[in-house]
Amino acid sequence: MTQLTINNQPYDLLKQQFKTSPYTNGNGHNGHAVATLEELEQPASKSAEQVAVENAVYTILTNIGEDPGRQGLERTPTRVAKAFAELTSGYHVDPQALINDAVFDVAYDELVLVKNIDFFSLCEHHMLPFYGQAHVAYIPSGKVIGLSKIPRIVEMFARRLQVQERMTQQIADFLTETLQPQGVAVVVEGQHMCAAMRGVKKANARMTTSAMTGSFKHNPQTRGEFLDHIARHGDH
Ligand SMILES: [Zn+2]
């Protein structure tokens, strides 16, 4: 196994490590007698971005006083890079492809509401998770969107570095642009690990944000109906 005690050239060390991995060199091995399932699922080549993130994680490990070479951490840079790629995959979602023929002309002008959409995001200030539930409603004006698309819209905006306020607004704006409805209402309830785990350590503090447009903004009755629906379901 590569001796990983030198910390001034992690990039070269990692390159060396990758060069001897079974995925980039059929003859070599990386210290494991048998490749793990996780390793077998690795693509044969890594993108420059993935390697760069791996190197950055290696640097973090080294500088927080860890030994990136010990068994449990050996593949941590790779795992973290993959996890971050997934958790920030919203940057690469094509909104038009996501909607993909799921907008329909329908003469319906009552409240459409999707409640309790679980989301997981990363705060842009600490890159720590915040997560919770989103409630999304709109009142159509001739167009509706397939119900399954709304959680995917939430996910597209959640899987990025975010602040909850902006995420809430982006969901509302996207539906407004896509459907041009009579109104859109989005309420997001989130728990922020950066607040729970550090600093003030308010583990149960929840943050609620909302964005209301059109009839939800201007008609108290419409807004009230929406908020009643959420409250009723929010009890459990
Ligand atoms: Zn934060």
Question: Domain holding 133: CATH number?
Answer: 3.30.1130.10
Both 53 and 123 in one domain: the answer is no
Is-contact 94 45, C-beta < 8 A?
A: no
Residue 20 Cα, ligand 1 centroid: separation in angstroms?
38
* Residue at 25 is within a domain: yes
Question: Cβ-count burial of 142 within 10 angstroms (0-12 exposed, 13-18 middle, 19+ buried)?
Answer: middle
Q: What percent of the chain has pLDDT over 90?
A: 70
Query: Is the model's pLDDT at 2 over the cut of 90?
Result: no
Both 41 and 128 in one domain: the answer is no
Both 105 and 145 in one domain: the answer is yes
Residue 125 Cα, ligand 1 centroid: separation in angstroms?
5
Q: Between 8 and 109, whose confidence is greater?
A: 109
Is-contact 174 161, C-beta < 8 A?
A: no
Query: Is the model's pLDDT at 148 over the cut of 60?
Result: yes
β-strand pairing of 129-139 with 143-145: unpaired
* Residue at 112 is within a domain: yes
Both 177 and 223 in one domain: the answer is yes
* Residue at 128 is within a domain: yes
Both 111 and 136 in one domain: the answer is yes
Both 224 and 132 in one domain: the answer is yes
pLDDT in tens, 5-62: 334 444 444 444 443 333 233 333 344 445 556 555 555 688 999 999 999 999 999 9
* Residue at 5 is within a domain: no
Query: Is the model's pLDDT at 127 over the cut of 60?
Result: yes
Residue 200 Cα, ligand 1 centroid: separation in angstroms?
12
**Structural domain count of the chain:** 2
Both 46 and 158 in one domain: the answer is no
Both 73 and 110 in one domain: the answer is no
Both 174 and 75 in one domain: the answer is no
Residue 190's domain spans which residues?
100-233
- CATH number of domain containing 41: 1.10.286.10
Provide the residue type at 234 as one letter: G
Q: In a 3-state reduction of DSSP, which class is residue 93? A: coil
Both 129 and 55 in one domain: the answer is no
Of 87, 109, 144, the last residue of a domain is 87
Residue 139 Cα, ligand 1 centroid: separation in angstroms?
33
* Residue at 172 is within a domain: yes
Of 87, 117, 133, the last residue of a domain is 87
Both 210 and 114 in one domain: the answer is yes
Under the banding of pLDDT at 50, 70 and 90, the label for residue 96 is confident
pLDDT (mean) for 66-91: 96
Query: Is the model's pLDDT at 76 over the cut of 50?
Result: yes
pLDDT (mean) for 146-158: 96
| Region of poorest pLDDT, from 11-25, 113-127, 156-170, 178-192 | 11-25
What is the model's pLDDT at position 131? Answer: 97
The structure's pTM equals: 0.79
Is-contact 68 61, C-beta < 8 A?
A: yes
CA angle 45, 49, 55 (to 5 degrees): 90
- CA dist 168 and 214 (Å) reads 16
* Residue at 76 is within a domain: yes
Query: Is the model's pLDDT at 217 over the cut of 50?
Result: yes
* Residue at 224 is within a domain: yes
Catalytically annotated residues: 123-126, 164, 192, 194
* Residue at 185 is within a domain: yes
What is the model's pLDDT at position 199? Answer: 75
| Region of poorest pLDDT, from 3-12, 74-83, 159-168, 172-181 | 3-12
Both 128 and 159 in one domain: the answer is yes
Of 25, 56, 87, the last residue of a domain is 87
pLDDT in tens, 171-196: 999 999 999 999 999 999 999 999 88
In the numeric block, the tokens 């997981």 are attached to 120
